[in-house]
Structure 1
Amino acid sequence: MKKLILPIALLFLTSVSALAQMQPFALQDVKLTGGPFKNAQDVDQRYILALNPDKLLAPYLIDAGLPVKAPRYGNWESSGLDGHIGGHYLSALAMLYASTGDAELKKRLDYMVDQLAQCQAKNGNGYVGGIPQGKVFWERIHKGDIDGSSFGLNNTWVPLYNIHKLFAGLRDAYEYAGNQQAKQVLIGLGDWFVELIKPLSDEQIQQVLRTEHGGINETFADLYILTNDKKYLETAQRISHRAILEPLLAKQDKLTGLHANTQIPKVIGFEKIAMLAGKPDWSDAATYFWQNVSQHRSVAFGGNSVREHFNPTTDFSQVLRSNQGPETCNSFNMLRLSKALFLDKSDVTYLDFYERALYNHILSSQHPEKGGFVYFTPIRPNHYRVYSQPETSMWCCVGSGIENHTKYGELIYSHSANDLFVNLFIPSTVNWADKNVKLTQRTEFPYKNESDLVIETTKPQEFSLNIRYPKWAENLVVLVNGKAQAVADAPAGYVAVARKWRAGDKVTVRFNTSTRLEQLPDGSNWSAFVHGPIVLAAKTSTADLTGLFADDSRMGHETKGKLYPLTDAYALVGEPATYLSRLKPADRLRFRLDSLTLQPFYEVHDARYQLYFQTFSNAAFAEQRARLKQQEATALALEAITVDKVNCGEQQPEVDHQYKGEKSDSGYDDEQFWRRTRSFISYQLQNKNGAGKSIAIKALDDIKLDNVRFLINDKPAAILSSDGKTVRLRADGQPVISLTITASPGLSTPRFHQVRLVTN
């Protein structure tokens, strides 16, 4: 640690590992004052106020047998996940009220909580929920009648995930907005759940936890914090998923193929339980998970997953090809985990990732003018994103989306007992009530590499103002009241300015940033341009943006527009040293790259875009492009004749196709998902305009027709052909085709990989 004694200050660079315990500021203490984050907060508020609380409450009232005041929303709120947005809405209202003080938000929040309390009172046992036929469902679980898979528990769509949103929403209503009634409803709901699972063995609980359940272990840890009742902490540990925890404890990467967002909330719970129960190995497990996902599974903007699942760390090719890129919910939860680990371990490495994902994924996931939230962010060149609408779209990424933009003030600043930390360069104010100090940050970052920090205090007092020196910053300069200070050269720590501060003191921070190329984690020849912490992308076209703003269809969150061949994308050809030199700076973080203009990805909307660029040497260009072109031609030709398809064993495709089944399991082998059954499985295929003529079913094992039956709309299917691992059935021309696959008594079906309805 280098120290330099100055006439007015003690200024040095320090690693945060040596610092006292870091504490966050309450959202009430931090106010955004301008810039893209303040705009995003304002746009989100309009979206939140456009939602009807009575429609969101309807599933809860229906389940409690109370009269509804408005019909429930459609989309996911009427197709099995009824009530999940209501929980997110509580969180969003509470955090946005804390961030803004807007009375209408508090009014809505109090109303929602009161209505939920009435539902709870009517139920009479502490339960409140919007899950369809909830009372029947939970009674089966209480009796140990459990048939679970990754997203279906007793043929109910992720019920614990659903109710976790209510647990979290009630917690947030109390924590951020001080609603005492929310605390009482939360405790009642927690007590009901403790009694619900009391008869279950640990093995049965782990069977339940096979189905996506959000961060329900974390909310029981929160109940322990609120009440100091150990039964909640014991429950939190009991409902922690051992199949995920144990490999992490052993530092084993078993994540490939798993549904990504199912796992991240569990790990947030592991970290919180570690702090409360004195389990440092659980915290180590959370750290291992974070390092694996953030460093080896995340693309340049901080997101991860393809078609909602973790892809192999050594192969990002499917992420590049798919129209279903990283899911916004994943980054929502990775930010929560990063924040928890930063506050626990005081390590700026977590801030580096937090900042990257905040600017480039979270900020980009909301339309900056019209509002609307993004589910998938493809990195496929020349593709685009779809935005939600308040009346049509009730996806999980709408629920996390309305929360994302309410809490930007959560980590701009932090503090220890005696020191203040500036973590992010965002225009804002922070009120440090314990010291009676207010700090105002004036900055236009990332468009200008400078920030002014102005102190307000009623009396002179001593403390250290610690300014993060990011690893991407170059030649950082600190001035105190216009006088330059000496700063050590090494970034990735804090510059600490220790002095007796007086009202009006101003600290100016200046630095340089440069552009670099970042490869995908698999080391393939695809790279993104990153300037400082900002990922750059180019708008490439506004053609064929089908479904840009989503309708209310079950799969409205997916793009429907044409996939452009990867070989049509701009490529960097030549010596690697020339790639960056081709960029010609323009204005406000814009760069010319031949006919393209690169700009911050969070500014790119209503257009197809290119974020990743393939790099070639001159010698390799022709050969590799030819091979890629052939692969693309084959894949696009198949997509051209596809009317509908199901990727068996993948959560969202199966939910989108109304999967049902009994005695069924799923898995991931040889980089392929599958599902099999000892009873039956069924899907519904959409046969638009009756164009589908046949159904091709592929398996990972040989399909023996004596051991499996296929039904189409409840009638035996006509088998057109059977060839080892593929069988082709005749489609019946109906607009909706119900496909049922049953196993012969006492046998299991093969592992089915894909069902594809095609035009030939």
Structure 2
Amino acid sequence: MDREEIKKRRQTIAKQDCDSIYIGNLYTVDTDLQLPSVGKHGSSINWESKEILFLSHTGKVTRPTHGVGNRIVPLVATVTFEGETLQRTFEVTVLEEEYKAEIVEVYPVRILTKAGIKPELPGVVVVRNDTGSRTVSQVSWEPSARENYQQTGVFTIKGKLEESGWQAEAIVTVATDADERIEHTPKVYAFKGQSVRLEADTEFGAAMNRSLEYLLSVDDDQMLYNFRIAANLDVKGAKPMTGWDAPECNLKGHTTGHYLSALALAYDATGGNLAIKAKMDYMIAELGLCQNVMSELPGYHQGFLSAYSEEQFNLLEQYTTYPTIWAPYYTLHKIMAGLLDCYTLAGNNNALVMCIRLGDWVHRRLSQLSKEQRQKMWSLYIAGEFGGMNEVLTNLYLITQNRNYLAAAKYFDNEKLFFPMKENMDTLGDMHANQHIPQMIGALKLFEAEGEKAYYEAVKNFWHMVTEDHAYQIGGVGETEMFKEPGRIAAYLTDKTAETCASYNMLKLTKELYGFEPKKEYMNYYERTLYNHILATENSKRAEGGSTYFMPLAPGSCKKFDTHENTCCHGTGLENHFKYQESIYFHDQDNLFVNLYIPSALSWKEKGVTVTQKRIRGENGETVQFYINGGKEEFSIRFRIPEWAESSIAVKINDVLITPDIVDGYIQIKQTWERDQVELIIPFGLRLESTPDDNRIKSVFYGPYALAAIHEGEDFITWPFGEEQFVQRMRTAEGDLNFSLNGIRFAPLYQIQDQRYHMYFKFTE
């Protein structure tokens, strides 16, 4: 081997070691980092922090004092192999310390119980702090005499907050009947199976096709790598996974679960793509082999399947914190949800059998723990995150009617979240957004199973809190993954806003709520978030499977697409673009609901009806045409009136202008449908929306689309006039939905890839 070959080999090894460095989730760091000193192939690694006040060269973290703000610290790794050196810079966001709040008020607890039944008291109460915010605090209750609840009446139980010693009070009402169950059958349903098809020649269809192209390129054996290692099976020459799925990462396996869901969704959305089905069937067969082998290995129990051993679950039961362990039930949820999706969307029966075995494993394990143990586990930050385990287990119950799965789902009831939400008290500030949104999806699924009113009320209250007091104008929520104080939006316009996972789950929750209560407010939020966040999260220039982690909203932001880190948002990003058709149409027995104006085709097989939706963009809005082959069926079609419609929508049937009925914010047309055409002429208009905490800071919308200004500056663009003059001065520009003002181009966020942009602006009037 000559010198050049030796040099090239050394450079290759140094690069491999440099590229494979993984030091955890660096977006929200509040604990010390574990910095490796040796690479996988023997390179030496030296570290240099550019701000040792907050992060030392050895990875020790010193969080900024509360009020100073988070700090972004460059951390440089110098990788050397036999004289060849490379450097890689990581950006570490060190979170500021939490404020040490003082309690100023403890809210009383109100409990309803049936005569003769001991009241079940919550383990937490809601308190108000000296900042005015609300949070929860653990409480211990005094014993209650049995005679207190033997007959109807009201009595009080005293308690004490465990950390502060403050007194708490529970007011118990004893009634003859305390069964608070309500009707729990959905009123409307999304169309199942392969009933809705997107038109390819739109921004939505194009995004789906790019995702399809990417899925077809994925190496299935690489997706199986960690599972085969855990089962002591041959990896078949596959390369290891990277980033959050790297062999040394404690979250490994989560992307594979999302990949299963993405394959199932893609199969469904494309009308049964056979290449996708072949990949899915291969994945299920190989994971089934892993599950069978694991069940026979020492230290494993029947039915277990993951990309690692059961050790993380053992440590969680000992209340081990992150980063020693990383959310084992979160990863398990992704695997179980992926399996169940492969069954429900693509008919793979083996996937259901595997999911049942995992459900049995979960029930056996958690049924041996006390409620207090489980609550302590779920309260652990990141380590106790469990995704939507309550949702997938309830879905498993609804399929199998095995009540063990329903019991297991309820083991994940999280009082710290569920109790204040039931009481309609916003305690979300400083809670991890995407840790808790999926829990609400599970609570709604539990309501669907048995009709417990408390679950439904908690979910509805949560949805209104989030969408009304915690959402950015694009619909996304959270800053550095966390909910902030209610109504604080302008105060948190940073480069770490609107985690994509959170919007994925908020849309899922919104869709499910709409089924029980088909109100247009749900679909107004759904449209806003789908068009302005989810659609904007993928790179429209190439099929790379990347997704934004955060959607940065600071002035002069630039998107970053995760293609190799395998973050949580990369996982949901694999699924997102196969879900556009899910909520376009809903139905009940007698009505068809059109909620989204996305070009598509619907086959309503039960009625023998087909609907084709087309879109024609004009200078002042768009015309949406519906071609309906109704088979001489009589039913109503309800078209949602968007919240942004500037004036009344003109409606034509077969080219004849009509004055339709308006019912609950929907245009309703009831008739016997044959071969008819409905045309909606929907006016668009420019408008500004102010942030709730600073009415000088505003975002710009045109119809449903939030417009971003393409501009390199990192200070707010300030406009020295008010809304009326701003709208008057804006001019249309070349490009679909593009505008310009003072030489600055505005475009929908989904059209912007690598340019710097501004989503919020400062107005002086």
TM-score of the pair, normalised by structure 1: 0.72
- The Cα shift of 1:376 comes to 1.0
Name 1:73's counterpart in structure 2. Answer: 241
What is residue 719 of structure 2 aligned with on the other side?
A: 572
The 2-side partners of 1:399 and 1:318 are apart by: 29
Amino acid at match of 1:23: Y
Instruction: Identify the residue that residue 60 of structure 2 maps to in structure 1.
Output: none
Q: Which residue identity lines up with residue 556 of structure 2 in the other structure? A: N
Q: What is the DSSP-based 3-state SS (H/G/I as helix, E as strand, rest coil) of the residue aligned with 2:407?
A: helix
Partner residue in 1 for 2:554? 380
- The share of aligned pairs that are identical, in percent, is 32
Q: CA deviation at 1:20?
A: 8.7
**Alignment partner for residue 196 of structure 2, among 21, 27, 30?**
30
Cα–Cα, structure 1 residues 613 and 139, in superposed 2: closer, same or farther, change >3 Å?
Answer: closer
Partner of 1:279: 452
- Residue from 506, 515, 519 that aligns with 2:677: 506
Q: Using the alignment, how far apart are the partners of 1:137 and 1:495 within structure 2?
A: 53
Match of 1:94 in 2: 264
- Displacement after TM superposition at 1:519 (Å): 1.1
Match of 1:453 in 2: 626
1:731-742 → structure 2 map (5 Å cutoff): none
Counterpart in the other structure of 2:306: 130
Listed as ranges, the matches of 1:41-440 within 5 Å are: 41-69=208-236, 70-78=238-246, 79-100=249-270, 101-124=272-295, 125-132=301-308, 134-140=309-315, 144-148=317-321, 151-152=322-323, 155-210=324-379, 211-320=384-493, 322-371=494-543, 372-389=546-563, 392-440=564-612
Show the 5 A alignment for 1:1-20.
Answer: none
The correspondence of residues 526-605 of structure 1 with structure 2, limited to 5 A, is 526-541=697-712, 565-566=714-715, 569-586=716-733, 588-605=736-753
Q: C-alpha displacement at 1:105, in angstroms? A: 0.7
| Mapped contact 2:490–2:693 kept (Cα < 8 A) | no
Deviation for aligned residue 1:532:
1.6
Instruction: Give SS of 1:330's match.
Output: helix
CA displacement, residues 524-565 of structure 1 (integer Å, 9 cap, x when unaligned) = 421000112110111114xxxxxxxxxxxxxxxxxxxxxx54
Say which structure is richer in helix: 1
* Partner of residue 82, structure 2: none
* SS of alignment partner, residue 88 of structure 1: helix
Q: Distance in 2 between matches of 1:32 and 1:209?
A: 40
Counterpart amino acid of 2:194? Answer: Q
C-alpha distance in structure 2 between counterparts of 1:184 and 1:231, whole Å: 15
User: Could you say what secondary structure the match of 1:431 adopts?
Assistant: strand
Q: Which amino acid aligns with 2:729?
A: R
Q: For the structure 1 residues 262 and 256, does the alpha-carbon distance in structure 2 shift closer, same or farther, using more than 3 Å as the test?
A: same
Letter in 1 for 2:234: P
Are the equivalent residues in 1 in contact too, given 2:421–2:459 (CA < 8 A)? yes
Deviation at 1:284, TM superposition (A): 1.2
1:519 aligns with 2:690: yes
In 2, the alpha carbon distance for the partners of 1:397 and 1:188 equals: 28
Instruction: Classify the secondary structure of the residue corresponding to 2:624.
Output: strand
Give the deviation of 1:512 after TM superposition: 0.9
SS of corresponding position for 1:537: strand
CA distance in 2: counterparts of 1:137 and 1:572, whole angstroms: 54
Alignment partners' CA distance in 2, 1:32 and 1:66: 41
SS of the counterpart of 2:562? coil
SS, match of residue 526 in structure 2: helix
Does 2:760 match 1:616? no
Q: Is the 8 A contact 1:83 1:129 kept in 2?
A: no
Q: Are the aligned partners of 1:425 and 1:445 in contact in 2 as well (CA < 8 Å)?
A: no
Counterpart of 1:620? none
Q: CA deviation at 1:254?
A: 0.7
Residues of 2 paired with 1:443 and 1:193: CA distance?
A: 48
CA contact (8 A) 1:299 1:521 kept: no
Offset from partner CA, 1:667-694 (integer Å, 9 cap, x none): xxxxxxxxxxxxxxxxxxxxxxxxxxxx
Any conservation in 2 of the 1:161–1:216 contact (CA below 8 Å)? yes
Residue aligning to 2:138: none
Residue 186 of structure 1, CA deviation: 0.3
TM-score (structure 2 length as normaliser):
0.71
The answer to whether the Cα contact below 8 Å between 1:536 and 1:600 also exists between their aligned partners in 2 is yes
Question: 2-side partners of 1:318 and 1:477: how far apart?
Answer: 40
Q: Is the 8 A contact 2:660 2:669 kept in 1?
A: no
Distance in 2 (alpha carbons) for counterparts of 1:50 and 1:573: 50
Q: Is the 8 A contact 1:110 1:179 kept in 2?
A: yes
SS in structure 2 of the partner of residue 451 of structure 1: strand
Q: Match of 1:117, SS?
A: helix
Alignment-derived partner of residue 635 in structure 2: 463
Deviation, structure 1 residue 207:
1.5
SS of 2:386's partner is: coil
Distance 1:539 1:510 in 2: 30
Cα displacement (A) at 1:27: 4.5
Give 4+ residue runs of structure 1 displaced > 6 Å after superposition: none
Q: 1:492 to 1:387 in 2, by over 3 A?
A: farther
Give the Cα–Cα distance (whole angstroms) in 2 for the partners of residues 310 and 523 of structure 1.
18
Q: Classify the secondary structure of the residue corresponding to 1:509.
A: strand
Q: Which amino acid aligns with 2:242?
A: G
C-alpha contact (below 8 Å) 2:362/2:408 kept by paired residues: no
User: How many equivalent residue pairs?
Assistant: 563
Distance 1:318 1:426 in 2: 34
Relative to structure 1, is the Cα distance of residues 345 and 585 closer, same or farther in structure 2, using a 3 angstrom cutoff?
Answer: same
Contact 2:593 2:640 in 1 (8 A): yes
1:433-464 Cα offsets, whole Å, 9 max, x none, are: 1011111111145985111111224x422111
Shift of 1:344: 1.1
Whole-angstrom CA distance in 1 between matches of 2:435 and 2:528: 22
- The answer as to whether partners of 1:60 and 1:128 remain within 8 angstroms in 2 is no
User: Contact 1:428/1:442 (CA < 8 Å) preserved in 2?
Assistant: yes
Letter in 2 for 1:71: K
Give the letter for the 1:146 counterpart.
Y
Give the deviation of 1:586 after TM superposition: 3.5
Structure 1 residues without counterparts, runs of 5 or longer: 1-16, 542-563, 618-760
Cα separation, partners in 2 of 1:199 and 1:20, compared to 1, 3 Å: closer
- 1 CA distance for matches of 2:500 and 2:474? 11
Output the amino acid matched with 1:301.
I
Could you say what secondary structure the match of 1:453 adopts? strand
In 1, distance between residues paired with 2:241 and 2:704?
39
Deviation at 1:574, TM superposition (A): 3.1
Distance of 1:438 and 1:565 partners within structure 2? 50
Aligned residue type for 2:406: L
Q: Which amino acid aligns with 2:208?
A: Q
**Is this contact kept in 2: 1:27–1:410, CA < 8 A?**
no
| 1:477 maps onto 2:477 in alignment | no
Contact preservation (8 Å) 1:64, 1:128: no
CA distance in 2: counterparts of 1:120 and 1:477, whole angstroms: 58
Find the aligned partners of 2:485 and 2:314 in 1 and give their Cα distance: 39
